[in-house]
Amino acid sequence: MKAIIEYSDFRKYMRDFYEERKLRHVFSWREFSKAAGFTSSSYMKVVCDGKSKLSRIGVERTGQAMGLVGFEMDYFRAMVNFGQETDEAKKKAAYEEMLSIAKIHKVRVIEGELFKFYETWKNPVLRELAPLMPGATPGEIAKKCYMDISANDVKEALDFLTKAGFIKKTSENTFVQTETSIKGSPEATKLAIRDMHREMAKIAASSLDLAKTERNFSGVTMGISKDSYEQIVKELDECRRKIISIAAGDKNIDQVYRLNLQLFPLTRKVKENGND
């Protein structure tokens, strides 16, 4: 399913959400309506068909039912206003709000610089850290990293990030991000990011020495089937999307974190091709 900021029709977004959920597991209009707190079992379908509107409370309930948080919820509110408003001035204002939110939280699509960006942890970390420290020297930035990095390494990474357009230099030792998020095509990203995952896994292991108030580790060992694996992966993707939305809406950032979502086999398959 596309990112919400790629939609302008809230009914289309709701219907796509419904269709995706239905593909993942049994999901009906009744369940959708119930999750949003409506007594009518078909209310969500009626809204999607354009035969009814969402009230202000209904917008909040529907957004919560779809797991929207942060700027995604703000965008959904504006999109509903745009779709339902009859006053021309208010409709225009709602659309301008949508454009403003989309512009702030747009995604930078990268291809040419993709492999170089992901070849070391320094690039994504410094892309986040440098804008938080306006006026700081490379040496001062280096001291804020838990991982070993020199002032020269910081300078080289910032030069690359600036030339590649990931950050913009506004004044001496002061940088801002050009876009909130970045991505590449799915296949290229999978290939480019593999070494990054290896690096981040090693860093994660060393972070176990940090105080529990600064890090969170949990895990579960379980037996599952291929179908369950695919369903769990989709749930993890949805969880990651919500977390990105929360982070993107944060106005008081003071630290850079890394979230690893890891699901991997500990054994080979016991059954192959349906045989024991």
3-state secondary structure 69-118: CHHHHHHHHHHHHHHHCCCHHHHHHHHHHHHHHHHHCCEEECCCCHHHHC
Residue 145 confidence (pLDDT) = 96
Residue 191 confidence (pLDDT) = 67
Q: Token match 């939110």: residue?
A: 101
Residue 119 confidence (pLDDT) = 85
Residue 184 confidence (pLDDT) = 61
Q: Would you give the end-to-end CA distance of the chain in angstroms?
A: 37
Residues of the chain with pLDDT under 50: none
Tell me the C-alpha distance between 242 and 214, whole Å: 21
pTM of the model: 0.65
Residue 224 confidence (pLDDT) = 94
Residue 132 confidence (pLDDT) = 96
Give the SS3 label for residue 159. helix
Tell me the C-alpha distance between 155 and 143, whole Å: 13
